[in-house]
Amino acid sequence: MIARGLLVPRSRGEEIRQDLLEAGLLRPDLAIRREADSLILPLSGPPEEVPASWGEIVEREFREVRPKGPVRYRDLLPWPEAEKEILPRSFDVVGEVVLIRLPSELEGRKAEIGEALLRFVPGTRLVGLDHGVHGPDRRRAVERIAGTGPWRTRHRENGVELEVDVERAYFSPRLSREHARVAEAVRPGERVYDLCCGVGPFSMAIAGRARAAHVTAVDANPDAIELLRATLERYPVGGRVSPQVARLEEFLPNTAPVERVVMNLPHEGIKYLPSVARTAVAGGHLYYYEVVPRSEIGRRGNTLVNALSPVGTFMVAAQRVVHPYSPASDLVAFELERQG
């Protein structure tokens, strides 16, 4: 059948297939097409939701595939197809916990949706309605809609089982490849600041690869640091991660500059950026995350570099869309290199 697809270089095919899967945008009933050095991934969502940097939207003939069993949780709901239209395509799996956001029209049917997810996702113990992250500690408000037990769980990411509590400290499984990408860039012997570290997924990925000499992991939320300490009890990584409860305002003054600095505080990070940038040595790299309106992504890197000119000379070494954030904005990773 003819359908919309995303044309991507074969070398990035698996990475972008994962991105689409996590965003609920990969169509499961059509087979991926191969054309010379490209793949065409069948799309199930509105093409505007696919970040432009992931590939080109095309129309092609796709082969239909008949998967065994339900391919989507909605297949487990005995509702008329028209009523399923407003069901979200995506949800997050954090260890044994599944989190989903629902539009207000589905509030009265949340228990049924929770039961469907409990049956659909293997290994799920608890399903929560995700009411978003709030407050300075970015804690998630969650409401149990199916299953039992605590919100605390262990989530496997980049070879480590992280201690996570989806209610007490921020964690998103959508950042796993970003954590790995940054870890891969770290060279042996480098010192790293993981600022706003949450439960420490960047720190664990970096130290787990045995490259960094030392990672200082800082967060204002004591629960996040307690969870990171609990992970470190099981994965001591040679004592190379030092967790610290501190606000950036306390930590940043008088800290020695290091080779890599990660700051993942996408909505407020901009106010700390100059003082964070001062903690990078010349030749050092700063990984800065921001939610950016899609129309401004192309200009944003240079705007950041100009804003940092009183601190030093920076260049945009790389930038990438991590995932779509809203219909008109993306979470973007900026890698800024200090030149002087």
The residues binding ligand SAM (CB under 6 A) are 136-138, 170-172, 175, 196-198, 201-202, 219-221, 224, 247-248, 264-265
Please state the closest distance from residue 60 (CB atom) to ligand SAM, in A: 36
Neighbour count for residue 107 (Cβ, 10 Å): 9
Instruction: Read off the tokens for 53.
Output: 């940097």
C-alpha distances (whole Å) from 214 to each of 193, 208, 235 are 9, 11, 15
Please state the closest distance from residue 25 (CB atom) to ligand SAM, in A: 22
Please state the closest distance from residue 133 (CB atom) to ligand SAM, in A: 7
Residue number of the CB closest to ligand SAM reads: 198
Residue number, 223 or 259, with CB nearest to ligand SAM: 223
Residue number, 171 or 193, with CB nearest to ligand SAM: 171
In the chain the first and final C-alpha atoms are separated, in Å, by 56
Residue number, 120 or 202, with CB nearest to ligand SAM: 202
Strand partners, 8: 39
Contact 175, 182 (CB under 8 A): no
Residue number, 9 or 136, with CB nearest to ligand SAM: 136
Contact 227, 167 (CB under 8 A): no
Separation between Cα atoms, residue 219 and residue 181, nearest integer Å: 21
Q: What is the largest CA-CA distance in the chain?
A: 62
Residue number, 158 or 221, with CB nearest to ligand SAM: 221
- Please enumerate in sequence order all residues whose Cβ is within 8 A of that of 46, keeping only pairs 6 or more positions apart, or say none: none
Residue number, 198 or 324, with CB nearest to ligand SAM: 198
Please state the closest distance from residue 1 (CB atom) to ligand SAM, in A: 39
- Per-residue burial over 115-136, b = 16 or more CB atoms within 10 Å of its CB, e = otherwise: bbbbebeeebebbbbbeeeeee
Contact 7, 36 (CB under 8 A): no
Please state the closest distance from residue 169 (CB atom) to ligand SAM, in A: 6
Nearest to 309 by CA among 265, 278, 267: 278
Please state the closest distance from residue 140 (CB atom) to ligand SAM, in A: 10
Residue number, 197 or 273, with CB nearest to ligand SAM: 197
Residue number, 18 or 339, with CB nearest to ligand SAM: 18
Please state the closest distance from residue 11 (CB atom) to ligand SAM, in A: 26
Separation between Cα atoms, residue 142 and residue 128, nearest integer Å: 6
Please state the closest distance from residue 194 (CB atom) to ligand SAM, in A: 7
β-pair type (258-263, 280-293): parallel
Please state the closest distance from residue 67 (CB atom) to ligand SAM, in A: 32
Residue number, 165 or 259, with CB nearest to ligand SAM: 165
- Please enumerate in sequence order all residues whose Cβ is within 8 A of that of 107, keeping only pairs 6 or more positions apart, or say none: none
Contact 128, 121 (CB under 8 A): no
Nearest to 94 by CA among 181, 175, 195, 206: 175
